[in-house]
Amino acid sequence: MIISMMENATEEQIAHVIARVEELGYKPQVTRGEEKTIVAAVGTGRRDELEALSAAPGVERLIPIAHPFKLVARQGRTARTVVSVGGVRIGGEDIVMIAGPCSVESRDQLFQTAHAVRDAGASMLRGGAYKPRTSPYEFQGLGLDALKLLREASDETGLPVVTEVLGTDDVDLVAEYADMLQIGARNMQNFSLLRRVAKCSRPVMLKRGPSATVKEWMLAAEYLIAGGNPNIVLCERGVKSWDPETRNLFDLASLALARQLSHLPVIADPSHGTGRRDLIPVMSRAAIAAGADGIMVEVHPCPERALSDGPQSLEPQQFAELVRDLFTPARKLAAPLPRIAPNSYRTAAERTLGD
Ligand code: PEP
Ligand code: MN
């Protein structure tokens, strides 16, 4: 942290800041310029108290150098983290496809979807048992019955399963049935849930809150790692915007930034990110280009009958096409490479000669 003193700061004020920096466990390094003095607080100490120095007399402002999310930050690390979920590696060389219904609605619906997505190439299954719904009158999920079905479908297909845990009371139960716990967007800053899930041995997918800044998202992940759970995967799922044409603003710049700032794997969820099934293929390609370690999409055997998120759910056949388009080399090569527009610069002589 750099503490920049005001131009008219007195010697006494500077000495006070230096003493306080030492008291808080940092090494002060003082640079006296012609106009002002700056004090660098080097090392680690009581950061929150250091931040309070912005209120000390003679202090102009504090300029942070290191990120406040030390355990999540990529700074100072050579390797990215790979999170293993029931043998599936997220954050390694391969792009992980996670697919399944928004909500588990019945045995038939789940098993049909699980087999279809497995056959199409998915490496993990998703499905909601406890649903965070805007209205209390909407389908809330089948709870424990859904957890049991998810476990059975996972065992039968061999796909590890991720499902959302809504509250602290359900953590042990969900962890008993699921291979990975999802902390949903609406709960990203539910600090008691973060602290509770940090104590759990299952890997966690932490979705970005609908109005969370990237820094808040990183700090939510910091709660999990600081609390004892290092197996965290971030998930960009879009943020609130003003435009009702898309459900959310799928923020791929923040996905790319999250991968720059953090060593954790980052998954993209274009289903919630756009709310529109027609945009999922193109936005999946864009997410991979932006560095996503995987894609999570909603798939339903009959989206028009889905109890939640039908409009953004792919039919199994559409999911198979998506996987084929994303990963089949022949198809990839067949797609034309983008062409660069010809540079129209011509010298004055060329311009007089005309075309
Ligand atoms: C979900 O994955 O079904 C879900 C509810 O997601 P989000 O928390 O991103 O809204
Ligand atoms: Mn959903």
pLDDT score for 347: 76
Q: What is the DSSP string of 168-225?
A: GGGHHHHHHH-SEEEE-GGGTT-HHHHHHHHTSSS-EEEEPPTT--HHHHHHHHHHHH
Across residues 72-77, what is the average pLDDT? 91
Closest among 274, 303, 299 to 287, alpha carbons compared: 274
Q: Which of 113, 134, 164 to mutate to test the pocket of ligand 1 (most atoms within 8 A of CB)?
A: 164
Across residues 327-347, what is the average pLDDT? 72
CA distances from 268 to 89, 255, 297 (A): 16, 8, 9
Output the pTM of the full model.
Answer: 0.89
Residue 354 to residue 135: CA distance in whole angstroms = 67
Q: Which of 163, 249, 269 to mutate to test the pocket of ligand 1 (most atoms within 8 A of CB)?
A: 269
What are the pLDDT digits (tens) for 133-153? 999 999 999 999 999 999 999
pLDDT band for position 333 (cuts 50, 70, 90): low
Residue 45 to residue 57: CA distance in whole angstroms = 21
Nearest CA to ligand 1 atom 10: 185
pLDDT at 354 over 90: no
Decide if 298 contacts 131 (C-beta within 8 A): no
Report the separation in Å between the CA atom of 179 and the middle of ligand 2, taken as the mean of its atom positions.
19
What are the pLDDT digits (tens) for 163-209? 999 999 999 999 999 999 999 999 999 999 999 999 999 999 999 99
pLDDT at 73 over 60: yes
Nearest CA to ligand 1 atom 3: 102
Q: What atom in ligand 1 is closest to the CA of residue 128?
A: 3
Antiparallel, parallel or unpaired: β 204-207 and 180-183: parallel
pLDDT score for 355: 56
Say what percent of the chain tops pLDDT 90.
88
pLDDT at 270 over 90: yes
Number of residues written out for the chain: 355
Instruction: Take residue 180 and report the two structure tokens written for it.
Output: 């990975």
Closest among 326, 260, 320 to 118, alpha carbons compared: 320
Average pLDDT score over the chain: 95
What are the pLDDT digits (tens) for 208-264? 999 999 999 999 999 999 999 999 999 999 999 999 999 999 999 999 999 999 999
Q: What atom in ligand 1 is closest to the CA of residue 237?
A: 9
pLDDT band for position 116 (cuts 50, 70, 90): very high
Report the separation in Å between the CA atom of 305 and the middle of ligand 1, taken as the mean of its atom positions.
19
Report the separation in Å between the CA atom of 62 and the middle of ligand 2, taken as the mean of its atom positions.
42
Report the separation in Å between the CA atom of 184 and the middle of ligand 1, taken as the mean of its atom positions.
5
CA distances from 138 to 186, 237, 244, 249, 278 (A): 16, 21, 20, 24, 25
Nearest CA to ligand 1 atom 6: 184
Q: What atom in ligand 1 is closest to the CA of residue 309?
A: 3
Nearest CA to ligand 1 atom 9: 185
Decide if 165 contacts 176 (C-beta within 8 A): no
pLDDT at 335 over 70: no
Q: Which amino acid is at 97?
A: M
pLDDT score for 331: 54
Ligand 1 environment, Cβ below 6 A? 102, 128, 132, 184-186, 207, 237, 272
What are the pLDDT digits (tens) for 274-317? 999 999 999 999 999 999 999 999 999 999 999 999 999 999 99
